[in-house]
Amino acid sequence: MVWGVFKWLDHYTYHNVAVTVPEVKGLQLAEAEALLRNHKLTPVVSDSTYNTSKPGGIILDMTPTHGAVVKEGRSVYLTVNTNRPPMRIIPDLIDNSSLREAEAKLRAMGFVLAENDTIEGEKDWIYGIKYNDVSLQNGDEVPLGATLVLEVGGGDYVLLKNMMNDSLSSSPSYEGGG
C-alpha cells in the first residue's frame, strides 16, 4: 500500500517531468510569453520598471532564471521595461525655496536642469519651474528625467539692468536736421 501511495504521488506531482527555463531577457513581452508557453511554463508579469537604455516592452529580469530545471506549468515571473517613464510630482519649491535647495531636490528626484532663466526678484529665489516652455505648479506631474528650467530671481542686478534698458529706450534720440 505504501508503494502504491508513492507511485500515485509521483504521477500526481509529475515527478521526473521537468523542463528547462529558456532565456527570455531582452525579448519583447509577447515573444517571451509565447516561448515560455511553448516550454509548458506560465508567464506572469510581476513587475515593471523604466530603463532609459532599453526599449520599451522588453523583459529585463525573470525568476527563475534561464537554465533552471522546473516542473511543467511552473510560473515564470517577468519584469518588463515600461514604454513611458514614470511620472514625478513637482515638490513645493515655487516661491518656497532657494536655488541651491531646489537644484538639490530636483536632481535627487531624477530631473535634469537646464540653464536657469533669471528674472526680477530676490536673488537666488525660485519663482517658477518650466517644462517644455510650460510653467508648472507645485504638485504637477512631469516624466522622470525631464529637463526643467528654473525661474530664479536675479536680485539687484536684474533690477538695475531693467532700469538701464528702460532709460535707454525712453531717452530722446538725436535726429539730424537742418
Q: Which of 156, 101, 157 is nearest to 129 (CA)?
A: 101
- Angle (CA) 147 149 153, round 5°: 160
For 85-124, the pLDDT digits (tens) are 889 999 999 999 999 999 999 999 999 999 999 998 999 9
In this predicted structure, the answer to whether residue 172 has a pLDDT above a threshold of 70 is no
The number of angstroms, rounded, from the C-alpha of 11 to the middle of its chain's C-alpha atoms is 48
The model's confidence at residue 160, banded by pLDDT at 50, 70 and 90, is: low
For 127-152, the pLDDT digits (tens) are 999 999 999 999 999 998 899 999 99
**Is the N-terminal amide bond of 64 cis, ω within 30° of 0?**
yes
Type of residue numbered 15:
H
The b/e string for 107-117 (b: 16+ C-beta within 10 A; e otherwise) is eeeebeeeebe
Beta strand pairing call for 75-81 and 42-49: parallel
On whether the CB atoms of residues 144 and 85 are closer than 8 A, the answer is: yes
